[in-house]
Structure 1
Amino acid sequence: MIGSKRFATMLAVLTSTLPLAAAAEDAAEDTASAALPPGTFRIPGTDTTVSVYGFAEVDATYDFDGRTSDINNFDWASFVSVQPFDNLGVEEPMKRQAFITARASRLGIMSNTPTPLGPLSVRLEADFVAPNTFQGELATNSTAFRLRHAYGQLGGLLIGQTWSTFFDGESTPDTVDFNPAAALALMRQTVARYTFTFSPEASLALAIENPQSLTFSSDYDAVPDFIAAFRYGGSRGHVSARAVTHEFRTTEHSKRAYGVGLSGSFKFANETLVAAVQGGDGIGRYMFNSLLQGAFDTGDQLELWRAYAYHIGLTHAWSPAVRSNVIWTQTFFAQNDRLEAAQRAFSEGAGTTDFIPNKRIDQLFVNTFWKITKNTEVGLEYTYGKRATFGLERGTQHRANVLVRFGLY
């Protein structure tokens, strides 16, 4: 047996090392936490890290010409495809309108957990840009919390709501306006997507996505949308090629539509160039300005609008804190007299000009962003837009946009 004196000595040594072991463990955790990116912390007792991000943002607009009056649903940002007409006495737009909102403020959380199959990432993000009618601007200006992203990703598999696979965020021009240029699929929806990575530069994404028809008739959806997107790129830029096939369907008719897109970016010196072109028969909501002009049920059949759009944007960095952008974009619709007459009659019967078919939409953005402190940015922008129909109607936008954004850290 161990003598009492020897046992007391061993116990003293053991208890003296426990604080040292605990201190070493704490130091290791502190070192691991210090290596995490800003805004990221480890949940105690787990191997999961969590990142919190977001910002408070104020957007102000001033329209020198008319704007759509329905800013609750067609949000306050530029949507020139429904710009009020300013000629022929068709519609007398209200001019010189101001609007200020904090709806675009955003809050997000991301987690990362090691698993035997690789890291599992989960993302939840929301803002306040939901239709706002309850306690609106006359009272407390309450706005509804709106889901932006909600998905899990394990390796190449992503399931949940996020940007559509047809959307190329890397070729998105930098605008103060909350809405972007026309040649983009500005959609977040529920997807099941697998991305095959062939090399650090090349990947192919295949996706099944939530369908949503708009035929101004008895819309319903029976088949999901199918999308493929190939990307190749490196530190100087990238190129993306995409294709989508989706179905328009009513209780009596159905027709399959398609869209294709090509986009990219290129960085040189202090400049960044982004460009995109896309289109198709019935591309509809997979191209921003054709959201309301994808298909129409003429009574005896579904007919598809053929449309295409492009944008080009140039960013110049004057300094690490100041950058300016010039962006030009156009959208075109092929003439279809029967389809145009049917959709025009529907729009006029509904007492609105929003759904009168467009022939062409032009837009120009000129802006400057200034990062005045570590987490405070200001943006100033002028936007021009013109909507032209197959008739003689024209709608013109002249707008000033201001943004002030305060990051959480």
Structure 2
Amino acid sequence: MTMRKFFPVMVSALALSAAIAITPAAAADQATLDKLTELIEKQQAALDAQSRELSALRAQVQSLQGQQKETAAAVVAQKKALESAPKASGGTQTASAAPAGDKKYVEQGDFPGAIKVPGTDVSFKVGGQIKVDAIYSNGSTGVSEDLFQTRTITTGNTNESGRSRIHARETRLNVDVRSPTEYGDLRAFAEFDLFGQAVSKPQSQVNGYDVRLRHAWVQVGGLMAGQNWSTFNDVAAFAETLDFAQVNGESFIRQPQIRWTNKFDDGWSLAVAAENPEGDLSDTVPAAVAQSDGIPDMIAALKWEQDWGHLQTGALYRRLAIDNGAVDTATSGYGVNLSGKIKTDVFSDKDSLKFQVNYGDGIGRYINDLQVTRNESFDAVLNGNDLETLKAYSGYVSYQAVFSPKWRSNLTGGYVYVDQPDFQPGSSMESTTYIAYNIIWSPIPKLDLGLEFLYGQREDVDGDDGDATRVQAAAKYTF
């Protein structure tokens, strides 16, 4: 008998002996003795049952340990079999050999919506948008059906009947690639849309348009090179319009550049860039002009970001030159601006006020409504053998009201003024005005359905003016 079994028996026997010694009368009571004996036997039976249960549990544990060893051996054998399995063309394993759910085949990337390239630390995402616009224009809307560009409005007595247009040219596709490096995070981004040149009579058959490059740049740490928004822009302060042309008084340009951005404490940052030079130069006979872009446009922007929003100021310097054999002359252009986005809480705490003001001498192409068209130039004009820059002022204000997560609205107004020299013809543009109001509904995430009303006016040096209105509906899905 084991000590575990013997101990309860001894306790019971001692208790019985004590009872007999203390109570002599009880020793004679055979019935009491029988009851005590029966109790001891029951306790012994219970101990025997517990012992059998413990033995069974030990056997189960030993069985499970054996199964675990067998499973581990099977996993090792399967891994060796996979490593020695035949590989498909290109050096990758066949689909049948790839274990389901292995993270080295599909793994979440390091930024939202991205996945990793197998076997690397490179994350990438394919994105873009599908956008369809339905447009009705009334009045003198000039040359463009797709864009509401106030500078193209025809002046004088030119009343045009209404025109309708439906297109999907603002559809775009992009790819975003990111990877950590010892010099900081590396990011490469490319994007295309359909606002390239149209094929011959596109609307009569297939509505086909050439693909156009929007962005193509790479960035490591604070250094960025490639085609991107100009440093003179303030993208965070752009007005939200359904019209793709955007507000007239905005600095709105993309071009190749090399930019360095340095961040400081308290939300300050400074960006300095050398950007592609392209002078918008003309005289009364544009074909006679041969411009010379000697040095890049030099631009700097100082930005201050806080919880209430941000402010940004920019400055640029550029060199404008003409060398056409008969005339060899050059001059300098410069410009400054101030922009920002201020958070407000009129309708909700997501409301915001956006604005920008621009001033410059010889910076026409950096202002949205002054980019070259209709043989007009807004950087500089040739007066005899002298190149004379044009002073320009522009600006806009836009208020965004966010009524709920599904409803928002934008009211935007812009103005542009060009100080034309006296020798310019009377038909030269002097000013434009732009007003846009829209309401946007987002019934589900990433889907926007909107309606926008636009008004524009152009006034020339001789006092002739023209105006136009437009109603535009849009559906956009972002992915």
- Measured against the shorter chain, the TM-score band is 0.7 to 0.9
Structure 1 residues 383, 197: closer, same or farther in 2, change over 3 A?
same
The alignment partner of 2:181 has SS state of coil
Find the counterpart in structure 1 of residue 319 from structure 2: 247
1:275 aligns with one of 355, 358, 363? 355
**Structure whose alpha-carbon radius of gyration is higher:** 2
Give structure 1 stretches of 5+ with no counterpart: 1-8, 345-355
Letter of the 2:146 counterpart: W
What SS does the corresponding residue of 2:443 show, helix, strand or coil?
strand
Distance (Å, rounded) in 2 between the aligned partners of 1:40 and 1:135: 39
Secondary structure (helix, strand or coil) at the match of 1:180 reads coil
Residue among 333, 336, 342 paired with 1:266: 342
State how far apart, in whole Å, the 2-side matches of 1:32 and 1:133 are.
41
Match of 1:180 in 2: 246
Q: 1:204, 1:229 within 8 Å by CA — same for their partners in 2?
A: yes
The equivalent residue for 1:374 is 445
Q: Equivalences for 1:221-240 in 2 at 5 Å?
A: 221-240=293-312
Deviation at 1:279, TM superposition (A): 1.2
- Residue pair 2:150, 2:248 contacting (<8 A) in 1 also: no
Which AA in structure 2 matches 1:50?
F
Deviation string 1:175-226 (CA, Å, 9 cap, x unpaired) is 1110112232211100100001113611000000000011122223111100
Separation in 2 of the partners of 1:180 and 1:34?
36
Question: Does residue 294 in structure 1 map to residue 370 in structure 2?
Answer: no
Describe the superposition over 1:121-174 as per-residue Cα deviations: whole angstroms up to 9, x where unpaired: 000100001121335111111111111110100000000001000010111111
Task: Tell which has more relative contact order, 1 or 2 (C-alpha 8 A, sep 6+).
Answer: 1
CA distance in 2 between counterparts of 1:267 and 1:164 reads 24
Q: Distance in 1 between matches of 2:211 and 2:77?
A: 49
Q: Distance in 1 between matches of 2:152 and 2:195?
A: 19
Instruction: Tell me the alpha carbon deviations over residues 361-392 of structure 1, each in whole angstroms, 9 at most, x when there is no partner.
Output: 11111111111222321111111111111102
What are the superposed Cα offsets for residues 294-330 of structure 1, whole Å, 9 maximum, x if unpaired?
A: 2111232111111111111111111111101111111
SS at match of 1:114: strand
Aligned pair in 2 of structure 1 residues 28, 138: CA closer, same or farther (>3 Å)? closer
**SS of alignment partner, residue 16 of structure 1:** helix
Q: 2:471 aligns with which of 384, 400, 404?
A: 400
Please state if 1:357 is matched with 2:428.
yes
Separation in structure 2 between the aligned mates of residue 140 and residue 277 of structure 1, nearest angstrom: 42
**Residue number in structure 2 paired with 1:331:** 416
Identity of aligned residues (%): 27
Given candidates 302, 315, 318, the residue that maps to 2:403 is: 318
> Alignment partner of 1:373: what SS?
coil
**1:77 to 1:15, Cα distance in 2 relative to 1, 3 A:** same
Is residue 106–residue 118 contact of structure 2 (8 Å, CA) maintained in 1? no
Equivalent residues in 2 for 1:117-128, closer than 5 Å: 117-128=183-194
Q: d(CA) in 1 for partners of 2:102 and 2:300?
A: 44
**Code of the aligned partner of 2:148:** S
* 1:91-117 deviation digits (Å, cap 9, x = unpaired): x34220111110100100000112221
Secondary structure at the aligned position of 1:329 is classed as: strand
Q: What is the number of equivalent residue pairs in this alignment?
A: 376
Q: What code does the residue aligned with 1:209 have?
A: E
Match of 2:390 among 305, 308, 313: 305
8 Å CA contact 1:135–1:142 kept in 2: the answer is no
SS in structure 1 of the partner of residue 291 of structure 2: coil
**Which structure's residues are more often helix, by fraction?**
2
- Segments of 4+ moved more than 4 angstroms: 9-15, 17-22, 25-28, 34-38
Q: Which amino acid aligns with 2:179?
A: T
TM-score by length of 1: 0.86
TM value normalised by structure 2: 0.74
Segment of structure 1 superposing worse, 276-285 or 367-376? 367-376
Q: Is the 8 A contact 2:108 2:115 kept in 1?
A: no
Query: Partner of 1:161 in structure 2?
Result: 227
1:394 to 1:33, Cα distance in 2 relative to 1, 3 A: same
